[in-house]
Amino acid sequence: MRDIMDRMKIKTRFAPSPTGTMHIGGVRTALYAFLVARKNNGSFVLRVEDTDRARLVEGAIEDIVKNLKWLGLNFDGDPVIQSERKKIYQKYAKELIGKGVAYEADGAVWFRVPEEGQVSFTDLIGNRKVSFDLANQKDFVLLKSDGFPTYHLAHVVDDHLMETNPVIRGDEWLSSMPKHILTFQALGWDLPQYAHLPLIVGTDRSKLSKRHGAKGVSEFRQDGFLPEAILNYMVLLGWTPPEDKEILSLEEMIDVFNLKDAHWTSAVFDITKLEWMNGEYIRKSQNSNLKTQILEYLKELAGGVVPNHPTEEEIEKVIPLIKERIKKLSNFVPLTDFLWEKPEYDQAQFQKLNIKDKKGVLNQILKQLEVMERPWRTEIFEKIFRGLAQQQGLKAGEVFQLIRVAISGQVITPPLFESIQVLGEDEATQRVKEAINFL
């Protein structure tokens, strides 16, 4: 197999049908095809399988192209659009009728499957030989009565003409192999190599779909997932990198990926691990890159408009505070919005505190803040409130926690002093006053 792979030129394709938004499961198929192509200096093309006119969804092609681009899975050349190739399929359907292996009935062209015999091929995944008894196969449609080809004809014609090798697709096609083998043979063409990728399934082990709350790529993007993390997580669903090195860039994947090491068992999509990995990517990204990504993310969230707050400078200031605290870009908003907006105080948050006379202590705090030398310095700030805690018979943490809720309305925030620095001394003092009034 290795020899054959080496000798043949490599050309892979991703062939979705534009019946909806690009699904997360498709990412893995596209990624593997992309990796095989790039690894072998081959090409990777996009083919749009739009032969089912009834299920066409407007904008689906644009969605697929946009998402592939976002992911960094760049394809070569222009997409091949099957609906524009109608004549070609018709020509071969006619040829097949001429050869006597196909016939017309009910306005469609059917392939006549031999009564007996066997077909088999060896799948690249796991190097498994799979055989089918033709006695179990029925005649199938090549050309529908509307003149468009079925998947089966279109696949054979296109992948032969495009010289696809190997064909990388989902495992749901494995049972259609007899149809494809038969058609290739009837046309007198060589069978390409095939790699049927195991299905990605939901927690109930059935094919991943909307039923599982499975999302489209765009939704992952809106959720604040990074393309690198999605790619990295998906590549692990069915393939293990050498030496336990799980975190890999696209470039590194190209380097070490090998289809022959791909697995043949279906994998459950586990968003928890994806989230962890996304957090890893956020933590290890450069602050300046993160800033750009957050800016872009917020802009998209606001419908393409740059929001007034946070500004680029504000984001820059806050990044070191939140970098280790967010798993997804979307976490940025709830974690930081108290910095740009007045908090809405909630008794429940104050009640979590272990201090009896909150109002009294807060007044003490306010008094200190008003006389503290500006600009406030961390050491001084800490010293003063540790002293205050002691004097009040409280733990230092309890006092800091009270200040936290007073300035943010929340019990969980980025580091206190740094947050106050972003807020500014006036605003921080003002909020303590407001908290006192609230209590």
CA distance 368 to 146: 82
Check: CB of residue 169 under 8 Å from CB of residue 14: no
Task: Tell me, rounded to whole angstroms, the distance of Cα 283 from its chain centroid.
Answer: 18
Residues 245-274 binding RNA (CB under 7 A) are 246, 261, 263-268, 270, 272-273
Q: Which of 12, 43, 67, 150 forms a contact with RNA (CB under 7 A)?
A: 150
The candidate with the shortest Cα–Cα distance to 136, out of 114, 158, 107, is 114
Written as six digits, the tokens of 178 are 């007899």
Check: CB of residue 246 under 8 Å from CB of residue 224: no
Residues 373-402 binding RNA (CB under 7 A) are 378, 382, 396-397, 400-401
3-class secondary structure, 159: helix
Q: Which of 224, 238, 310, 409 forms a contact with RNA (CB under 7 A)?
A: 238
Tell me which of 69, 91, 99, 210 is the catalytic residue: 210
Residues 311-370 binding RNA (CB under 7 A) are 324-325
Which is it for strands 108-111 and 140-143: parallel, antiparallel or unpaired?
antiparallel
* Site size toward RNA, by CB under 7 A: 76
Q: Which of 2, 7, 87, 205 forms a contact with RNA (CB under 7 A)?
A: 205
Per-residue CA distances from 351 to 286, 345, 391 (Å): 39, 11, 22
Stretch that binds RNA, among 158-166, 239-247, 305-313, 339-347 (CB under 7 A): 239-247
Q: Which of 70, 173, 340, 438 forms a contact with RNA (CB under 7 A)?
A: 173
Nearer to RNA by Cβ, of 205 and 374: the residue is 205
Nearer to RNA by Cβ, of 71 and 143: the residue is 143
Q: Which long-range contacts (CB under 8 A, 24 or more apart) does 342-350 make?
A: 342/431, 342/434, 343/407, 343/408, 343/409, 343/410, 343/431, 344/409, 345/409, 345/434, 345/435, 345/438, 346/409, 349/405, 349/409, 349/410, 349/411, 350/405, 350/439
Residue 113 as a binder of RNA (CB under 7 A): the answer is: no
Check: CB of residue 290 under 8 Å from CB of residue 282: yes
Using CB atoms within 10 Å of the CB of residue 50, give its burial: 0 to 12 exposed, 13 to 18 middle, 19+ buried. Answer: buried
Residues 175-194 binding RNA (CB under 7 A) are 175-176
Nearer to RNA by Cβ, of 118 and 289: the residue is 118
The nearest distance, CB 174 to RNA, in angstroms, is 5
210 is catalytic: yes
Q: Which of 66, 79, 151, 427 forms a contact with RNA (CB under 7 A)?
A: 151
The nearest distance, CB 113 to RNA, in angstroms, is 12
Residues 9-68 binding RNA (CB under 7 A) are 15-17, 19, 49, 51-52, 55
Give me Rg for the CA atoms of the chain: 30
CA–CA–CA angle 148, 152, 157 (5° rounding): 80
Residue 108 as a binder of RNA (CB under 7 A): the answer is: yes
The nearest distance, CB 162 to RNA, in angstroms, is 15
Residue 73 as a binder of RNA (CB under 7 A): the answer is: no
Q: Which of 43, 67, 164, 413 forms a contact with RNA (CB under 7 A)?
A: 413
Residue 207 as a binder of RNA (CB under 7 A): the answer is: yes
Residue 84 as a binder of RNA (CB under 7 A): the answer is: no
CA distance 11 to 40: 9
Q: Which of 2, 7, 87, 138 forms a contact with RNA (CB under 7 A)?
A: 138
The nearest distance, CB 306 to RNA, in angstroms, is 27
CA distance 134 to 346: 71
Q: Which of 97, 130, 301, 439 forms a contact with RNA (CB under 7 A)?
A: 130
Catalytic residues: 210
